[in-house]
Structure 1
Amino acid sequence: MGMGKLSAQGTNADKEFRAGAALSVITPKIGTSINGNFQEGFTQNIHDDTHARGLVLDDGQTKIAIVTLDLCMVYRETLDKAKKRAAEYTDIPVENMLISAIHTHSGGTACAVFGSTPDPDYLVFLEERAADAIIRANNNLEPAKIGWGVGHEPSEVFNRRWKMKDGITFTNPFGGEDKVRMNPGFENPDLVGPAGPIDSEVPIVSVQSIDGVPIAILANYSLHYVGGTKSGDISADYFGMFANSIGQMIGADHKNPGFVGIMTNGTSGDINNINFGGTAPKKMQPYEKMEIVANTVAAEAYKVYQDITYHDWVPLASAQTEVRLGVRKPDAAELKRAKKILAEVEGEKLLNRDELYARETVFLNDYPDKKDLILQAFQIGDLAITAVPCEVFVEIGLEIKEKSPFGQTFSISLANGYNGYLPTPQHHEWGGYETWRARSSYLEVNASNVITSNLLGLLDQLKSSAITSR
């Protein structure tokens, strides 16, 4: 498909820049499904409320909205409805709205994956609250200044996929052999080394009122999530803790309208917080590790924040396109094998790994042959943000950063929908959990190349438009 709709400003006479931010609670009710585990889990307690966190920017001609939802993942259909509702109450075009999930594994279920099934009422609630975050942020617009920068925090990110020694393989749920294993355990003698890099960058965007009152900080880190909650707890994971921590550090945690801290999930499809190259860590209390990660990353963000140069006005622009990608569907033999495995399951017992993937195979047989994905790029001055509706592998984010025509670039995963993991073709060849065909990983093997080239095309489109409009 060709390049999509471009929205940008030409010359702006009065050059007033405005910004607004808002929080909207999305905490699920007790008794409903929790997303993120192979088996179904249910909400028993609220450790910390989960939120939609909205930021609206306005350069006088173009408005963009960025929202995070404290969820594991969320359907495109839900987000499309939320954008439509927000557009009815604001003058922000739907293609200028970027709504992403943070990927907490202790949030309400907004997407059926493995054992988790969403409550239909919760999906309607999410449509309303995601839209409200944009509407309320738009209502809070005030003259503002904006700046950005990037820090580095390598201590909390590790590639979780490991290469096995020659001749050593790991059996996958489909009867095949993988050369790479996710989360392979500590001091495993069969390991060679990580199967990919990390991205240690901590980009932040800081927005303040004209007189220097903090409005929002939008951050990005390529870390899957941390976890370590109590069973049945709802929590926004380290993402929510980061938001609180950075607000405290800059002295903005008691302002009205409230300061909004936002941590977006970068390209973390193959990245987590566990160093399998080291020794097994000591057992921690629930939420202890999460707090360490949140405070460590917030401290790095604070260092960047202290040196930011603010701009009274910067140009905003957005570009969006849709790509149609193939679905990796089972063939007749694979479907027959899956049905045979499921036929041998007795009663209501919990499904084991191979049984779960057999069920996923049956589900995917009913998927369409192609799926349409929204790809997006935003320009904020010489900063660019790209958005992908997948759990994007870190190599892809690093390539986009390297090839982007903008001074600073970062990517937001799980944005504008959910289409599973996005490994590279090389990682598909190696195998491993993230490549196993399921509702959590089903796009064609070449999907990452198509997505990367389209995103780089959107960035070039934004850059050339910015040059010609000067």
Structure 2
Amino acid sequence: MLKAGISKVKITPPFGLEMAGYGIYLNRIGKEISSALEMSEDNITISTTHTHSGPTTVYLRGWGDMDKNYMVFLKEKIIESAKEANKNLEPVIIGAGQGKVEINFNRVVKGGPTDTALMVLRVDNLSGKTKAILYNYSAHAVVMGPDSFAVSADWPGYASAKLDSVLSGGMGMFLQGFCGDVNIKDNGSSSFDKAKEYGEILANEVLRVTKKIKLEKSKKIKMYSKIINLPLHIPDQKDIEDMLQHYAEHRKQANWERFFQEWKDDTIREINRNPRDVLPAEIQILAIDNDILFVMEPGEVFTKWGMKIKEISPFKNTFVIGYANDCIGYIPDKDDFVRKGYAAHMVPLILGFFHFKPNAGEILVEGVGELTEDIKCLLNKK
């Protein structure tokens, strides 16, 4: 029988810690959790909500440095939480459902694709108490904008807090979707009231869906992972000069000139090392019976790719989860490469990666499709 355990820990940083955006690691956590719980690393997923109101936890050129003490603290808290969840494992019955919430919008293309689906997984113990509700929605957690210097869990924090208060001992857990080009409404307003408003709108829909979910004992659960090689464009000298010319106006500011000079120096250094022309990305999928599928990947994927995965999925309830196990930047659509958009063009410079080729998103979806078929066969194998 399926078992579930839950835990929550505080990861609030101390006063004075530098925030991200104003100025390899996850594998180590996975290994330590694997060792502590005697569990295969392949069965561990670490996903994040991706708030813009917190400390830097990955390399971001010119956008804030990682604090070593906080990184150690964060790692210890994650491992502590995993151990605590393992201690309170108990048999559970589960079920999934879907709702709809129209509080997001496409920030890249006016009227562009937006996934308004809200996916919900309900987990009850055998006494009938709801132990956890996992909910999956696609929208950047960016109500708190650049005018705010407060550490905040943004609207997902308010949504989970509302669920926690209703569940009384149970827990609401947010799983961020494919929101590379999707924001929440009133993004950047830096209003705690707005963050709470949208969080509670989402929580109310979660609760509505939860009441209608049919719970069952799970018969089969399978988890599978695969490395998909996403194609990279290795630049030459002309590409570097074209990039500098494209951002000529930015470079008139001293801080941006330093940014681009560092990028140029680092890029030339990397080219001379004969780099690989692919970036390995781990895709994980978790299937429960023939009804529920979780797809987990490590980037900020444009929403059309998540919608495509749901479309081709043979599972009734498909959760698409980004920001899992690594940070490989945006996986845009081809149009963003044509327009030289922020996601396709600028972000690789910030993260220190080469640019993806325009077909990276299609390769991702194709890889997920193959993985889904494989796990479907495993579930149905006698």
For normalisation by structure 1, the TM-score amounts to 0.72
Structure-1 separation of matches of 2:204 and 2:79: 31
Aligned partner of 2:367 in structure 1 is 454
* Alpha-carbon offset, residue 329 of structure 1: 4.1
Quickly say closer, same or farther: Cα 1:357–1:296, change in 2 above 3 A.
farther
Alignment-derived partner of residue 149 in structure 1: 97
Any conservation in 1 of the 2:286–2:293 contact (CA below 8 Å)? yes
* Displacement after TM superposition at 1:241 (Å): 1.1
User: Secondary structure of 1:33's match?
Assistant: coil
Aligned to 2:350: 439
- The amino acid of 2:294's aligned partner reads I
> Are 2:173 and 1:262 equivalent residues in the alignment?
yes
Q: In structure 1, the residue corresponding to 2:45 is in which secondary structure?
A: strand
Change (3 A) 1:366 1:29: farther
Q: Is the 8 A contact 1:330 1:361 kept in 2?
A: no
The Cα of 1:206 is off from its aligned counterpart by 1.1
State the match for 2:222 in structure 1. 317
- Of 28, 38, 41, the residue aligned with 1:91 is 38
Shift of 1:32: 2.1
Coordinate RMSD, CA, aligned: 2.6
- Could you say if the C-alpha distance between residues 364 and 21 of structure 1 is closer, same or farther in structure 2, counting changes exceeding 3 Å? farther
SS of equivalent residue, structure 2 residue 287: strand
In the alignment, the residues of structure 2 paired with residue 428 and residue 134 of structure 1 have an alpha-carbon distance, to the nearest angstrom, of 39
Q: Which of the numbers 298, 301, 308 marks the counterpart of 1:399?
A: 308
Displacement of 1:409 in angstroms is 0.6
* Shift in CA distance, 450/358, structure 1 to aligned 2, threshold 3 Å: farther
For residue 267 of structure 1, what is the amino acid of its counterpart?
F
Against the structure 1 CA distance between its residues 311 and 365, is the aligned structure 2 distance closer, same or farther, given a 3 Å change threshold?
farther
Q: Please tell me whether residue 429 in structure 1 is matched to residue 338 in structure 2.
A: yes
**Unaligned ranges ≥5, structure 2:** none
1:233 alignment counterpart: 150
Distance of aligned partners of 1:134 and 1:350 in 2 relative to their CA distance in 1, 3 Å threshold: farther
Q: Report if aligned partners of 2:148, 2:190 keep a CA contact under 8 Å in 1.
A: no
**Offset of residue 125 of structure 1:** 2.6
Q: What is the rounded CA distance, in whole Å, between the counterparts of 1:24 and 1:220 in structure 2?
A: 20
Contact 1:329 1:365 (8 Å CA) reproduced: no
Q: What secondary structure sits across from 2:175 in the alignment?
A: strand
Q: Which residue of 1 aligns with 2:121?
A: 205
Q: How has the CA–CA distance of structure 1 residues 136 and 271 changed in structure 2, closer, same or farther, with 3 Å as cutoff?
A: same
Gaps of 5+ in 1: 1-15, 41-76, 163-192, 276-280
Map of 2:16 onto structure 1? 31
Residue 236 of structure 2: aligned partner: 331
Change in CA separation of 1:431 and 1:119 when aligned onto 2, cut-off 3 Å = same
Within 2, Cα distance between the matches of 1:328 and 1:425? 14
Percent of matched pairs sharing the same residue:
26
- Per-residue CA deviation, residues 211-260 of structure 1 (Å, 9 max, x unaligned), is 12221111111101232266321111111111111222xx324x2xxx22
CA–CA distance in 2 between the matches of 1:28 and 1:389?
A: 24
Are 1:137 and 2:88 matched, yes or no? no
Specify the alignment match of 2:296 in structure 1.
Answer: 387
| Alpha-carbon distance change, 89 to 457 in structure 1, aligned in 2, over 3 angstroms | same
Aligned-partner Cα distance in 2 for 1:373–1:324: 6
Given candidates 178, 199, 202, the residue that maps to 1:294 is: 199
Structure 1 residues 376-396: Cα deviation after superposition (integer angstroms, max 9, x where no partner)? 111122100111111010100
User: Amino acid of the residue matched to residue 333 of structure 1?
Assistant: K
Provide TM-score, normalisation by structure 2: 0.88
CA contact 2:230–2:364 (8 Å) conserved in 1: no
Task: Report the equivalent of 2:130.
Answer: 214
Cα deviation, residue 135, structure 1: 2.0
Partners in 2 of 1:33 and 1:260 — Cα distance? 30
- The number of aligned residues is 368
The change in CA–CA distance for 1:285 and 1:427 in structure 2 (over 3 A counts) is closer
Q: Of 319, 334, 337, which aligns to 1:410?
A: 319
Alignment pair present for 1:273 and 2:258: no
Distance in 2 (CA, whole Å) between partners of 1:158 and 1:409 is 21
1:42-79 Cα distance to aligned partner (Å, 9 max, x none): xxxxxxxxxxxxxxxxxxxxxxxxxxxxxxxxxxx221
How far apart, CA to CA, are the structure 2 residues paired with 1:314 and 1:197?
36
